Amino acid sequence: MTALSGLVLADAGEAADLAAFLGRLIHYDRAAAVRLQVGGGAVAVFGRPPSFDVLAVRTSRLAGAGSGAVAGSGAGASDLDVTVSAGELLEGIDESTGAVAVPGAVTGPPWAGVLPPRGGWRQVPGLPGPDAMRAAVAAAVAEFRARDEALAPEDRTRAARDRIGREIWSRTLGETELPLRAVHAAQSLGFLRPERRVDADPAAVALLAAGGWLRLRTPYGSIAVRRAGLGVLSVAPV
């Protein structure tokens, strides 16, 4: 692994949360790539778990008021924008110090070239609370499993299961345009875990819109989806 540059996160908690996020991405795709962008005293890490066909974003604060650079033989940390291996990035995190060794760049997947806008987001009303969102995901997973088990053995093909999954996970949440699969991704990636930071503060979780994008924001990360042309969903429940 050839290090491109280094970062120092604000504290051990930021490092642990980033490591957990990367670990969950790798759970769905061992060859996962992520795109890193540094700006405004933070590093944003973008990933695309294939089981959900969404963009997941984890933003981590950098130490101090500067760029957070600790080393580098290439691009400076203050203007870092690079796609790297998620596994190699995870290996480069020192949770005890918050130091992150950024590995060498890899050829980015197509999604890495089309990211949500950085600004212009506005809050969209109608998002249910965290408990209701978790309940909606649980009900959808249960429905998928029940309908899958109801298929005759000869009919339990990938195509049939895909049809069931697309129908269930493309449904929108409450009165919003947010597809259920975005909420499922948020829960599976640890963004909606039932902790005080999520459940105690009504403003901690919000639905935002900018252009053709929707973004489910939580204290632990965001899930972004396009309003149209969302693609095909992998249907296996988690």
Confidence label for 234 from pLDDT (cuts 50, 70 and 90): very low
Judge whether 194 and 138 are in contact, CB under 8 Å.
no
CA distance 138 to 141: 5
Q: Does one domain contain both 29 and 61? A: yes
pLDDT tens-digit map of 13-45: 999 999 999 999 999 999 999 999 998 899 999
Give the mean pLDDT of 142-151. Answer: 95
Which CATH number does the domain housing residue 98 bear?
Answer: 3.10.150
CA distance 199 to 131: 8
Q: Does one domain contain both 47 and 142? A: no
CA distance 72 to 91: 17
Q: Does one domain contain both 38 and 78? A: yes
Lowest mean pLDDT among 27-41, 75-89, 119-133: 75-89
CA distance 37 to 31: 20
Q: Is the pLDDT of residue 198 over 80?
A: no
Residue 11 covered by a domain: yes
Domain that holds residue 53: 3-107
Paired tokens of 158: 């990938």
Average pLDDT, the chain: 86
Residue 173 covered by a domain: yes
Confidence label for 78 from pLDDT (cuts 50, 70 and 90): low
Q: Is the pLDDT of residue 66 over 50?
A: no
Residue finishing a domain among 44, 76, 107: 107
Residue 232 covered by a domain: no
Please name which of 212, 228, 135, 221 lies closest in space to residue 174, comparing C-alpha atoms.
Answer: 135
Residue 175 covered by a domain: yes
Residue 233 covered by a domain: no
Residue 81 covered by a domain: yes
Q: What pLDDT score was predicted for residue 4?
A: 56
Q: What pLDDT score was predicted for residue 204?
A: 85
Give the mean pLDDT of 163-170. Answer: 94
Residue finishing a domain among 107, 134, 150: 107
Q: What pLDDT score was predicted for residue 42?
A: 94
Confidence label for 202 from pLDDT (cuts 50, 70 and 90): low
Q: Does one domain contain both 61 and 136? A: no
Q: What is the pTM assigned to this prediction?
A: 0.85
Give the total number of structural domains in the chain. Answer: 2
Give the mean pLDDT of 111-116. Answer: 93
